[in-house]
Structure 1
Amino acid sequence: MQTDQFLPDLRRVFFGIVKYPPGGKLGPRIQRGIQFVYLISGGLEIEVDGIRTAIKPGNLALMLPERQESYYFHPDQESEHSWCQLDFQQLPQEWVEHLQTLPIQLTVTPEMEQLLELGLMISANTRIDQQVVLKRLGEALLQFYLAIQQVPEDDRPDGIPRSVHRACRFMARFYSQPLTLEQIAEQAHCSVNHLINQFNRSYQTTPMRYLWRLRIKQAESLLRHTELAINLIAEQCGFATAFHFSRQFKACHGLSPKAFRETFRKRP
């Protein structure tokens, strides 16, 4: 079946987040649509049609229509999870059969987490009709799930610690400013040494090298798609001087920013 299309008869999409106390329980209930459950912290076992599965923190679980499900939260810890609920007028049987072949849980990627967070932010805006946007976010989340499960298991992205997520989001927002490692660690709610260790495990690099790589990527985009002067691109991408930018860029690409721009323009 084709899965690279908008979902048929998608009626409404909801995003939410909740914390359950130790020993909390939800259900039993019949799942009315497709639901994604993202376990942020704590512990969770989901029983579906009598079969229990432990959901790992940092994983996204897929709940399917017309199944009886019960949620059992960690007996000794508070557990937090967010969700995305997709409700349909009627989900075609071919979709149901295809979804039944998917794994019940996958590691959340940064893109998935951002979709869930964006869904929560948009849901909180009561001044507009959010459903068109929420539907597209729900569809995007499902398409990510479908795409990742097609990747061989050994090649799928590993779970990224929340401290690294926070640091990456902070750098993506403020890369044009003169950030220090201490500022990044503060935003990630951890020590400098812990953040360095987490980055090495997750990305095989340091936070500051990740930041420079992010700045270079932003500069590449501006060189390709704008007519901005190189000194302005250097400033907007967080480089102290145009000379520093050119040196860093050439070390990465083997070309100066000017030569890179000219090479891109010559491509058909």
Structure 2
Amino acid sequence: MLKPVSYAFRSDDRSILTLDSIGWQTIHTKEYSFSGEERPDCGHVIFQYTLSGMGYIEVDQTTHALPPGSGFLVKIPSRHRYFYLESEEPWEMIWLNLRGDEANRIWDLVTEQEGTVIRRGHDSPLIRHYWKLLQAISEEKVTDKYRLSALVFEWMLTLVQSSRDAGNEISAGSSSIVDRTKKYLKENYASPLTLEEIAKQAGISKHYLCRLFQKAEQVSPLAYLRDRRVEAALAQLRTTDLPVQEIGRRCGFDSPSYFGKVFREYMGMTPKDYRLKKLEFPYDAVYYE
């Protein structure tokens, strides 16, 4: 069973993403205070997350509280200070420090989206993935730098995905509507659907449906439907001998000319040319998710 613990790793290999340290601890003393400009250990990035109690971070002369469910992303060196106030409840937190160009790039990407302070639930994919990483080290004794690099990179992908999801957050009920509508469009791409018919199937107005889709998927329902139709056409051009015109009809395009126009927008060539260029495009399926 996991318990508060910390580990450090040392490697001179700068060709890969490396885990510098990782841990789970509780802070009780005001002596806990770190300045990003004064630390002797430079060249890494830090993720730190509050489980209970409260910590603080000062960035650009502004102090941010770090209650449970919040954390921060910083680089060393940079202008910041994170600390604990002794009068508060003990600060229980988890952290990891990483080195490598990719870690710096991901930190820039996420902080540009969310800022230095981020918020995730204790049961969020990011925190669940963190516990799996700590467990692999603590219980499975994983210490190989390449295996650790792969595990950390998976955690960083979860960070990126959760950051994008945080920016596109919708309620559980709205998410269910979007998921049901996506399923309906995938199953009925061949039908001559209108926006009104799609909205009726979803049980909401077309304007509300468009707002939900734009927030959750960054595209309109009709654009999402068009992606599914092109995907189906690409597959049929490669896996059947049906005439191009018939494939367009079966994939929901109401005219051969419109099918050709849309196809060229996606692939830069006609459906017939795509069918012939098997060496340049050796794919049985292409997805636009």
TM-score (normalizing by structure 2):
0.44
TM-score (normalizing by structure 1):
0.47
